[in-house]
Amino acid sequence: MLHGSETDSGLMANGPVVGPATSPIHSAVPRLRDYTVYTPGGSRTPCAFFLTDLCYTLDEHGNSSKIPAWPYILEDAQAFQDGVDRHVEKTRQMMISWLTAAEHLWGVMFIHGYAGFLASCKEKLVDDGGENSTPNSLMGRIRYIYDRLPDEIRDWAPLSFSHLRIHCPAQSSFIVGEGTSPNMGRGGTWTRTELAKGDPAAWPRGGASEVAIGTVRGKRFFVTDEPFHGNQVVVYTQAPDGTWPRNVIDSEINNAHSLALIDVDGDGTSEIVSGGTRGAAGAARGTKPGVFFYRAADPAAQKWERMVLDPNIASNSCVVADINGDRRPDVACIDDSLKWYENAR
């Protein structure tokens, strides 16, 4: 089950600070603060500091060396930290794949709730072995760098490696990977396919707003709030003829504005969380419409049980994360305060 409690400090927690220590790799380990806090006037940002002070690469001859503090590397690290999109035309000597691996490693270890994605034309180039991956893959390069960090850093934010996934419970962060197609990164094209029109009403009451994708017994479905700021939660599962019939599971939600999926009991089936931002038309100002929890009641995901998660919230957004590090996903929603709904199954 999920139960709720308000948090005073939100989801971000301040990590411990460690002082200088010895390591097989470094004679002194700077404080963790150097990799998380920007110091005005400093020559390197936290991400760049982490890359050039702690991260080791491997060349084609098997020689290991630190990532150098070259200007384009410092600039790229700054852009990564600032969330700026980059397009890099590279040579093999520029170490861009190592740079990408190190930047994602910094993100997953030092940013709470970080979500990273790696892709290439072949799955084995993304991950060639999970916990036994090698530097021949992107995730293997992350593991290579991570394994050579000082113990004090790894102990502060330990990672687990599995196939196409890297997880940091301490930060509720992760990196996932995917092998796409031979066209990935080689000028490939995208094909636009309409799955459903959403609410069939005429504009501006038609269509959909929030969309999320989940699974029921290994079968994929997607769920929407319809229409924009609407009153419906709608589930789409694929029929044998390839179409996606529209199944309205709730038509009494008010001004729907939040949507998230959670596997609350770890059975591989997604449950739905959705809520609204304000009361129905004519309701008193400040009315809070609540957040609701939906569980599939049959194997085909045609029937859903509706439960009240919190009747006293006007939710602008809900997210799912393991907030307390107990390896169970929780829910957090925000209106004028942040609420945490702990998974107590």
Q: Write a three-state SS string for 172-222.
A: CEEEEEEECCCCCCCCCCCCCCCCCCCECCCCCCCECCCEEEEEECCEEEE
Residue 183's pLDDT band (cuts 50, 70, 90): low
Question: What pLDDT is stored for residue 18 in this prediction?
Answer: 27
- How far apart CA 272 and CA 282 sit, in angstroms, is 28
Residue 143 has pLDDT above 80, yes or no: yes
Least confident of 89-103, 141-155, 259-273, 315-329: 89-103
Cα within 13 Å of Cα(282), Cβ side? 0
The predicted-structure confidence for 40-84, as pLDDT tens digits, reads as follows: 444 557 888 899 989 999 887 888 999 999 888 988 888 888 887
Residue 29's pLDDT band (cuts 50, 70, 90): very low
Tokens (6 digits) for 187: 């000028």
Q: Which residue has the tokens 């930060």?
A: 171
- How far apart CA 294 and CA 283 sit, in angstroms, is 25
Max mean pLDDT among 6-15, 87-96, 145-154, 321-330 falls in 145-154
List, edge to edge, every strand of the sheet that includes 232-237: 211-216, 219-226, 232-237, 246-250
Residue 187 has pLDDT above 60, yes or no: no
More confident residue, 180 or 236: 236
The predicted-structure confidence for 203-248, as pLDDT tens digits, reads as follows: 778 889 899 988 888 788 999 999 988 899 999 999 999 899 999 9
The predicted-structure confidence for 322-341, as pLDDT tens digits, reads as follows: 888 887 889 999 888 889 99
Residue 14's pLDDT band (cuts 50, 70, 90): very low
Q: Which of 287, 195, 172 is nearest to 243 (CA)?
A: 195
Residue 126 has pLDDT above 60, yes or no: yes
Return mean pLDDT, the chain. 81
| Contact in structure between 304 and 295 (CB atoms under 8 Å) | yes
- CA torsion, ordered 14, 19, 21, 25, to nearest 10 deg: 50
- How far apart CA 233 and CA 315 sit, in angstroms, is 15
| Contact in structure between 103 and 142 (CB atoms under 8 Å) | no
Question: What pLDDT is stored for residue 233 in this prediction?
Answer: 95
